[in-house]
C-alpha cells in the first residue's frame, strides 16, 4: 500500500458566471498537478460558477450549464489525477452547493453542503437546500472527507467523517475577508483537527466579487493543530501538499513553504486595491476617473486606483468653484504629479451661475442654504459622469464610511459613481491609511513608491469647500468622536445608553443615531465598495429605508 500521496491545492480567482473560463482555469491547474505527480488536484467551493453567484444559481439553465461543464471536465481530465471542484448540483431533490470528485472520466462522488450560512453577506438558505452529511471519498490510498466551508465551522460534519474512516479533511472554501478573519478561521479549524485527531487542508479562493474580496491564505494543519502549510494572502497560487503515512496515520510534510502575512493596515489596503482591480477587470472597464479635490479622501482613492491599475489608466479631475482654496488646487496638482496621473481642471463657476439664473424665479424670496451648496456637488457629478460616458472610464466615488454612515454626502452629486474604494473605511482610518501608504510600497502596487500623498493633505482640517471657510466639524462632531460613536452604534450594534456610558454626550449620540437612520435611503442608492469589516453597509447591514424607530435610551 502506498505510503505517500501528493495533493495540489489550486488557490485561484474565478469569475462569477464565466463557467467556461473557470473550467479552463481548473483544467490548467489540473495539468500542473499532473505534471507535478499529484494524485488529486483540488479547487475551491463553487469554483465552476464563481462565488457568490447569489440568485443567479437559482436559474435552472445556469445550474445545468455548470453541471454540464463538470461532466466535460471529467472527460477532459480522465488521464491523470483526480480533480475535486465546487459547482452546483441540481437534481430531483433540489439545488445544492456541492463538491464534485472527478476521476477516470466520470464524476465519482458529489458531496452536498450540509450547513448553509445565513448571516452577514451569506444567504445560502435562500438559494440552496441542505444536503445530508456524506462519508469520505477514497482517492488513491486516502479516505478524504470534504466538509464544504461552513461544514467545518461546526463539529458535526467533521465528527461524522472521522467516525466514517476519514484519514484527512480537505475543506473547500469561498471565505471572504474582513479584518481579523484569518485568525478566526485558523482557530476554528484547529478545533476540528484536535477534536478528531486528523490533519486538514483548508483551501480558500482569492479575488474580488462586488463588495467581497476572497483572501486565500489556504493552509494545512497536522494533528494537534501544528501549521504544516501556509499559502499567500490575496495571490493566486498552487501548492503541492505531500502526505506521508506514519504509525499515527497520515501527516502533511511540514517542510512545505510558508508565507509571512502582513499587518491589518496592509491587508485592508490590499483589499481596497484588489477589490477595485477585480471589479473593473470582471465588469469590462479598463480605466477610471475621479474628482480630485485636494482633500484626503480623494487623494487616497487616487492612490488606490493608481496602485490597482497604473497611473496611465487613472484620470483625476479638479472641479473648482469660487470656494475652492488655492491650497486645494495646489494639493490636487501635487497629488496627481506624485502619482503620475493625468489631471484635468474643469471650473464649475460658469455652469453654477447658469443654474442659479435658471432657478432664480423659483427661488425668489428664499435664503441661500444647503440647496445651493448641493448644486455645486451635483454639477461636479454631472460633469464627471459626462467624462465617464464619453471616454468609457468608470467614475469612482470617494466618500468614507463616516460620511456614508451619517449622510454627509450629496446624492446624485459626490455620491455619483460606479465604485467606492473607501466605503467601509472610517475617516480616522483614512488618515492612518494615507500615512501607511506613504511609508510602504509593495510589488503588487502599480503606483510609485514614496510619499505620494503630501503630509499637508493629511493634516489639514477636512472641508467640503461648498461655502466660505467651511469645515466638516461645522456640521459633524470631530471625527475621532464621530467614529467612536459610529463603531458603537453600527459595528457593535450597541444601544445609545451603552455608547453614552463610554463617556459620550447623550445629545451628540442621539444626533448621530438620527443621521444614521435618516440617510438609509442614500446608502440604498450608493455605489458598492470593498468589505473590510463584518458590519459593512450593504449585505452585512440591511435596514429598512422608512423606519420611525429610534432607541429610547
Per-residue pLDDT of the chain (553 residues; tens, 9 = 90+): 688 999 999 999 999 999 999 999 999 999 999 999 999 999 999 999 999 999 999 999 999 999 999 999 999 999 999 999 999 999 999 999 999 999 999 999 999 999 999 998 999 999 999 999 999 999 999 999 999 999 999 999 999 999 999 999 999 999 999 999 999 999 999 999 999 999 999 999 999 999 999 999 999 999 999 999 999 999 999 999 999 999 889 999 986 556 778 999 999 999 999 999 999 999 999 999 999 999 999 999 999 999 999 999 999 999 998 888 888 899 999 999 999 999 999 999 999 999 999 999 999 999 999 898 899 999 999 999 999 999 999 999 999 999 999 999 999 999 999 999 999 999 999 999 999 999 999 999 999 999 999 999 999 887 665 666 667 677 789 999 999 999 999 999 999 999 999 999 999 999 999 999 999 999 999 999 999 999 999 888 999 999 988 999 8
Does 278-524 match 4-253 at the fold level?
no
pTM for the model stands at 0.94
Domain coordinates of the chain in residue numbers? 4-253, 278-524
Q: How far is CA 435 from CA 162, 356, 410, 431, 540, in A?
A: 49, 40, 27, 7, 28
**Residue 296 and residue 436 in contact, taking contact as beta carbons nearer than 8 Å:** no
Active site residues: 45, 113, 149
150: left (phi over 0), alpha (psi -120 to 50) or beta: alpha
CATH, domain range 278-524: 3.40.50.620
3-state DSSP assignment of residue 241: strand
**Contact (CB, 8 A) for 542 and 126:** no
Which of 194, 98, 79, 197 has the alpha carbon at shortest distance from 147? 98
Altogether, the residues listed in the chain come to a count of 553
Give the number of other Cβ atoms within 10 Å of residue 529's Cβ: 29
C-alpha closest to that of 229 among 258, 250, 193: 258
The set of residues, in sequence order, having a beta carbon less than 8 Å from that of 52 and lying 6+ positions away, is 16, 46, 121, 122, 174, 209, 212
Phi-psi region of 551 (alpha: psi -120 to 50; beta: other; left: phi over 0): beta
* CA-based max dimension of the chain: 93
Cell 437546500: give the residue: 129
Specify the DSSP element, H or E, that contains 159.
helix 155-163
Give start and end residues of each alpha helix (H) in 256-325.
Answer: 264-283, 296-309
Distance CA 255, CA 22 (A): 31
Alpha helices per DSSP H over 173-283: 181-196, 264-283
The conformation of residue 350, written as its DSSP 8-state character, comes to H
Pairing of strands 393-396, 287-291: parallel
Out of 3.60.110.10, 3.40.50.970, 3.40.50.850, 1.10.287.130, the CATH code matching 4-253 is: 3.60.110.10
d(CA 374, CA 363): 15
Amino acid at each position: 500500500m502506498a505510503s505517500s500521496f501528493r495533493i495540489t491545492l489550486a488557490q485561484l480567482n474565478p469569475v462569477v458566471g464565466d463557467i467556461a473560463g473557470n473550467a479552463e482555469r481548473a483544467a490548467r491547474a489540473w495539468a500542473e498537478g499532473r505534471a507535478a505527480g499529484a494524485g488529486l488536484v483540488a479547487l475551491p467551493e463553487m469554483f465552476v460558477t464563481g462565488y457568490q453567484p447569489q440568485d443567479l444559481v437559482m436559474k435552472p439553465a445556469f445550474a445545468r450549464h455548470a453541471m454540464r461543464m463538470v461532466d466535460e471536465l471529467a472527460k477532459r481530465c480522465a488521464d491523470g489525477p483526480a480533480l475535486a471542484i465546487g459547482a452546483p448540483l441540481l437534481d430531483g431533490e433540489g439545488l445544492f452547493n456541492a463538491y464534485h470528485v472527478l476521476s477516470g472520466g466520470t464524476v465519482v462522488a458529489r458531496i452536498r453542503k450540509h450547513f448553509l450560512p445565513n448571516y452577514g453577506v451569506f444567504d445560502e438558505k435562500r438559494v440552496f437546500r441542505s444536503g445530508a452529511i456524506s462519508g469520505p471519498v477514497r482517492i488513491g490510498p486516502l479516505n478524504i472527507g470534504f466538509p464544504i466551508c461552513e461544514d467545518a465551522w461546526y463539529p458535526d460534519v467533521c465528527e461524522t467523517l472521522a467516525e466514517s474512516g476519514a484519514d484527512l479533511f480537505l475543506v473547500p472554501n469561498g471565505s471572504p475577508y474582513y479584518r481579523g478573519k484569518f485568525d478566526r478561521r485558523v482557530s476554528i479549524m484547529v478545533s476540528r483537527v484536535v477534536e478528531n485527531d486528523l490533519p486538514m487542508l483548508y483551501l480558500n479562493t482569492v479575488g474580488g466579487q462586488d463588495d467581497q474580496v476572497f483572501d486565500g491564505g489556504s493552509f494545512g494543519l497536522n494533528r494537534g493543530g501544528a501549521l504544516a502549510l501556509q499559502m499567500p494572502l490575496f495571490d493566486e497560487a498552487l501548492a503541492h501538499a505531500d502526505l506521508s503515512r506514519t504509525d499515527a496515520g497520515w501527516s502533511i510534510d511540514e517542510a512545505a513553504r510558508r508565507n509571512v502575512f502582513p499587518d491589518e493596515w496592509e491587508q485592508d489596503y490590499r483589499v481596497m486595491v484588489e477589490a477595485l482591480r477585480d471589479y473593473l477587470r470582471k465588469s469590462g472597464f479598463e480605466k477610471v476617473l475621479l474628482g480630485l479635490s485636494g482633500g484626503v479622501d480623494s487623494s487616497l482613492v487616487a492612490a488606490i486606483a493608481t496602485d490597482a491599475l497604473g497611473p496611465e489608466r487613472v484620470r483625476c479631475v479638479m472641479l473648482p468653484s469660487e470656494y475652492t482654496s488655492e491650497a486645494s488646487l495646489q494639493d490636487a496638482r501635487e497629488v496627481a504629479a506624485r502619482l503620475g496621473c493625468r489631471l484635468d481642471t474643469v471650473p464649475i463657476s460658469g455652469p453654477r451661475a447658469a443654474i442659479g439664473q435658471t432657478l432664480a424665479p423659483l427661488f425668489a424670496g428664499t435664503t441661500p442654504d444647503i440647496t445651493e451648496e448641493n448644486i455645486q456637488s451635483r454639477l461636479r457629478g454631472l460633469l464627471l459622469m459626462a467624462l465617464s460616458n464619453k471616454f468609457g472610464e468608470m467614475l469612482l466615488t470617494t466618500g468614507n464610511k463616516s460620511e456614508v454612515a451619517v449622510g454627509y454626502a450629496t446624492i446624485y452629486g459626490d455620491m455619483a459613481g460606479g465604485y467606492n474604494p473607501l466605503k467601509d473605511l472610517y475617516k480616522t482610518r483614512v488618515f492612518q491609511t494615507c500615512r501607511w501608504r506613504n511609508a510602504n510600497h509593495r510589488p503588487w502596487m502599480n503606483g510609485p513608491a514614496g510619499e505620494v500623498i503630501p503630509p499637508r493633505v493629511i493634516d489639514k482640517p477636512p472641508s467640503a469647500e461648498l461655502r466660505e471657510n467651511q469645515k466638516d466639524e461645522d456640521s459633524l462632531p470631530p471625527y475621532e468622536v464621530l467614529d467612536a460613536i459610529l463603531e458603537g452604534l453600527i459595528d457593535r450594534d450597541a444601544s445609545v445608553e451603552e455608547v453614552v456610558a463610554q463617556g459620550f454626550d447623550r445629545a451628540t449620540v442621539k444626533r448621530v443615531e438620527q443621521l444614521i437612520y435618516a440617510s438609509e435611503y442614500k446608502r440604498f442608492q450608493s455605489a458598492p465598495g470593498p468589505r473590510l469589516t463584518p458590519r459593512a453597509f450593504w449585505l452585512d447591514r440591511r435596514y429598512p429605508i422608512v423606519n420611525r424607530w429610534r432607541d429610547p435610551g
